[in-house]
């Protein structure tokens, strides 16, 4: 086990401090503004035809694969929503599903949690460069010095196993959410030790997201003592700060017995409402002229985490590597030469894909465990839609 040096470096003092850590704006594909005359879908989605220049043959083939079973590797596609230049231009559901049915996000909840932390930063409640802490750790515990930013980037150094677990008995996510940690997920997450110096290595960590939502709850609802009070206060704040602001009214976050929002894995919403989340990030956190996320927050999400062993994760969102297919394992959705796509992603093939160069959001919800086939399919859907005219 790694034994840390107990000396701490000084924490940053600015509330956001993203400008100093993020690359210059030129390093990113620009995030497009909502086209003039296209309303934000706070109340209802504007719709329109597929844009001129759409590759109809490629799109028809992809739809047949997903909904007619011509590509069994895709499993069951339950919902598909394609948003081009702010309008729904394609929407399809499997039999028994529809636009008003909430469906599980699984780990797309991590992207929701990233948005919630951003809302708290905008409100002046959180400084992501300060230590996040936990009441489960004494002040001298090295885990208490890890900053919010490092937890969000998943470079926290915690000894956590999920993607590399060979059996459920070694899967910390399964144990935390369905096993011994199920009644108090934050206590389970806080008990995990460190095995690397924070900031030195990326490791996919659902426990870190649980600790983030625990800290966020203590920040936005400090007076809430009982599980019922924590749940009510957090849900009220989540709705006011994010869900109601963008019209994501179907969102149903889940809580454990301790009153903690399970922000690693458990939010349900309709496909249209997950598309609203994608559009919020496509529009740089601005919704109908109002900031919902702070300046630079979306760039923080799509900037590679600061670790040499990974280039496909930012903060709460998966990103497209600058070259190659990704490390530590291939996670490329080929949306074209711009390589600017980023996405929320969850177990069983849940994806919200955001492609700035195409002003495009694609939501796919369903049941599939063949990620290479799903990545290929999502890329073909995205490439079938043209880039908007300048």
Q: How do the domains of the chain map onto residue ranges?
A: 34-384
Q: DSSP label at 54? A: -
Predicted local distance difference test score (pLDDT) of residue 92: 98
The CA distance from 4 to 145, in Å, is 11
Is there a contact between 46 and 34 (Cβ–Cβ < 8 Å)?
no
The enclosing H or E element of 206 equals helix 206-220
The CA distance from 162 to 209, in Å, is 13
The CA distance from 223 to 32, in Å, is 40
Tokens 């409402």 sit on residue: 273
162 token code pair: 């999920």
The enclosing H or E element of 291 equals strand 290-291
Mapping DSSP to helix (H, G, I), strand (E, B) and coil, where does residue 246 land? helix
Cα–Cα distance list, 351 to 64, 249, 378, 381 (Å): 19, 19, 9, 13
Half-sphere exposure at residue 232, Cβ-oriented, CA atoms within 13 angstroms: 7
Q: Of 282, 328, 273, nearest to 301 (Cα)?
A: 282
Predicted local distance difference test score (pLDDT) of residue 29: 84
Predicted local distance difference test score (pLDDT) of residue 345: 98
Predicted local distance difference test score (pLDDT) of residue 151: 98
The pTM of the whole model exceeds 0.85: yes
Per-residue pLDDT of the chain (390 residues; tens, 9 = 90+): 333 333 233 323 333 444 334 443 347 789 999 999 999 999 999 999 999 999 999 999 999 999 999 999 999 999 999 999 999 999 999 999 999 999 999 999 999 999 999 999 999 999 999 999 999 999 999 999 999 999 999 999 999 999 999 888 899 999 999 999 999 999 999 999 999 999 999 999 999 999 999 999 999 999 999 999 999 999 999 999 999 999 999 999 999 999 999 999 999 999 999 999 999 999 999 999 999 999 999 999 999 999 999 999 999 999 999 999 999 999 999 999 999 999 999 999 999 999 999 999 999 999 999 999 999 999 999 999 999 987
22 token code pair: 């993020």
Q: Which CATH number describes the domain made up of 34-384?
A: 3.40.710.10
The CA distance from 173 to 345, in Å, is 16
Provide the phi-psi class of 318: left if phi over 0, else alpha when psi is between -120 and 50, else beta. Answer: beta
Counting Cβ atoms within 10 Å, is residue 145 exposed (0-12), middle (13-18) or buried (19+)? Answer: buried
Give Cα 142 distance to the centre of its chain. Answer: 27
Predicted local distance difference test score (pLDDT) of residue 23: 40
298 token code pair: 């979306």
Is there a contact between 154 and 165 (Cβ–Cβ < 8 Å)?
no
Predicted local distance difference test score (pLDDT) of residue 4: 36
The CA radius of gyration of the chain, in Å to the nearest whole number, is 20
Is there a contact between 259 and 226 (Cβ–Cβ < 8 Å)?
yes
Counting Cβ atoms within 10 Å, is residue 224 exposed (0-12), middle (13-18) or buried (19+)? Answer: middle
Cα–Cα distance list, 92 to 52, 103, 251 (Å): 20, 14, 20
Cα–Cα distance list, 49 to 53, 54, 87, 313, 385 (Å): 11, 10, 9, 33, 12
Triad 289, 112, 50: Cα angle to 5°: 60
Predicted local distance difference test score (pLDDT) of residue 85: 98
313 token code pair: 């994760």
Q: DSSP label at 73? A: G
């Amino acid at each position: 086990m790694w034994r840390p040096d107990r000396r701490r470096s000084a924490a940053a003092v600015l509330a956001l401090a993203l400008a100093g850590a993020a690359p210059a704006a030129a390093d990113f594909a620009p995030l497009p503004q909502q086209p003039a005359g296209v309303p934000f879908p706070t109340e209802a989605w504007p719709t329109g035809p597929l844009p001129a220049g759409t590759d109809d043959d490629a799109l028809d083939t992809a739809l047949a694969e997903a909904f007619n079973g011509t590509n069994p590797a895709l499993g069951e596609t339950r919902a598909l929503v394609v948003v081009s230049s702010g309008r729904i231009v394609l929407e399809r559901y499997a039999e028994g599903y529809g636009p008003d049915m909430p469906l599980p996000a699984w780990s797309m909840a991590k992207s929701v949690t990233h948005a919630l932390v951003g809302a708290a930063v905008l409100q002046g409640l959180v400084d992501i460069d300060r230590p996040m802490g936990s009441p489960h750790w004494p002040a001298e515990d090295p885990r208490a010095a890890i900053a919010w930013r490092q937890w969000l980037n998943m470079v926290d150094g915690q000894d956590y196993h999920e993607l590399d677990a060979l059996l459920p008995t070694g899967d910390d996510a399964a144990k935390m959410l369905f096993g011994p940690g199920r009644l108090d997920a934050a206590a389970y997450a806080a008990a995990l030790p460190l095995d690397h110096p924070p900031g030195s290595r990326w490791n996919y960590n659902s426990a870190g997201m649980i600790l983030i939502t625990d800290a966020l709850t203590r920040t936005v609802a400090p007076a809430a003592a009982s599980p019922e009070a924590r749940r009510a206060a957090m849900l009220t704040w989540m709705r006011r700060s994010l869900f109601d602001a963008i019209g994501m009214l179907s969102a149903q976050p889940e809580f454990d017995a301790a009153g903690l929002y399970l922000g690693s894995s458990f939010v349900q919403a309709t496909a249209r409402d997950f598309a609203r989340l994608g559009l919020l990030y496509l529009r740089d956190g601005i919704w109908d002229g109002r900031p919902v996320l702070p300046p630079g927050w979306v760039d923080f999400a799509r900037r590679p985490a600061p670790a040499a062993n990974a280039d496909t994760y930012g903060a709460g969102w998966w990103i497209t590597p600058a070259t190659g297919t990704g490390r530590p394992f291939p996670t490329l959705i080929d949306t074209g030469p711009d390589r600017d796509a980023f996405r929320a992603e969850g177990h069983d093939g849940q994806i919200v894909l955001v492609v700035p160069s195409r002003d495009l959001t694609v939501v796919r919800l369903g049941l599939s465990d063949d990620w290479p086939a799903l990545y290929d399919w999502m890329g073909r859907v995205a490439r079938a839609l043209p880039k908007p005219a300048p």
